[in-house]
Structure 1
Amino acid sequence: MEAEKDKALWKIAKKRVAFRRHFFTYLIVNGFLWTLWYYNGTGTSMYEGLPWPAWVSFGWGIGVAFNYYDAFHGNHDYAAEREYEKLANKKKR
């Protein structure tokens, strides 16, 4: 049972490291895009006044938010473990 717990912790740790890398990449790329937009004039997107990098930041930001939730607040298979224990207890009766 101890080896299974270590595997679960390892999986959570890998998800959190992957999130940090994803977030860092998001910051670097979006910083570059906003800098590019700023220094190449203030061209707007199809909606007047909204800079085109906003679409990238918003869309990718949604993905980063889901990645954050999964890494830090996801159920990490605890729900499956609880369901298994519930079924095992029911079977013992």
Structure 2
Amino acid sequence: METPRDPQLWKMAKKRAAFKTHLLIYLLVNTGLWTLWAVGVYIRGESSYPWPIWSSLGWGIGLVSHYLSTYALNEKEMIEREYQKLLNKQ
């Protein structure tokens, strides 16, 4: 028999699992892109422009944003702090 889930904790768990999946995909794809670039440099025997930097940086910004919304920016706590500030002003 399954115990009832706390809806807030379930939502938080889903967000954290989604972030971890996003991080894993980011690492796999960018590792592949950088490997592809490195193999090309090795085959040609000369250095070339590191084009994977743009996907790594652009996607990395999105990943940082996803991290912040999942772990750092707790909306419930922020609302509670604002509410307490408003109460203290009265």
| TM-score class, shorter | 0.7 to 0.9
Following superposition, the deviation at residue 73 of structure 1 comes to 1.1
Give 1:48's aligned residue. Answer: none
1:30 correspondence with 2:30: yes
Task: List runs of 5+ in structure 1 lacking aligned partners.
Answer: 45-50
For 1:43, which of 37, 48, 66 is the aligned residue? 48
Letter of the 1:24 counterpart = L
Residue 16 of structure 2 aligns with which residue? 16
Structure 1 pair 84/10, CA: closer, same or farther in 2 (3 Å)?
A: farther
For structure 2, the 5+ residue unaligned runs are 42-46
Percent identity over paired residues: 48
User: Which residue identity is paired with 1:39?
Assistant: V
The Cα RMSD (Å) is 2.6
TM-score, normalised to structure 1, is: 0.70
Task: Look up the SS of the partner of 2:74 in the other structure.
Answer: coil
**Matching residue of 2:72:** 73
Mapped partners of 1:86, 1:22: distance in 2: 36
Supply the distance in 2 between the matched residues of 1:40 and 1:58 (Cα, whole angstroms).
21
Q: Map 1:53-68 onto structure 2 (within 5 A).
A: 53-68=52-67
User: Could you list the per-position Cα deviations for residues 24-63 of structure 1 after superposition, in whole angstroms to 9, with x for gaps in the alignment?
Assistant: 000000000000000012431xxxxxx1001111111011
Would you identify which runs of 4 or more consecutive aligned residues in structure 1 move more than 4 Å? 81-87
Scaled by the length of structure 2, the TM-score of the pair is: 0.72
**Shift of the alpha carbon at 1:81?**
5.2
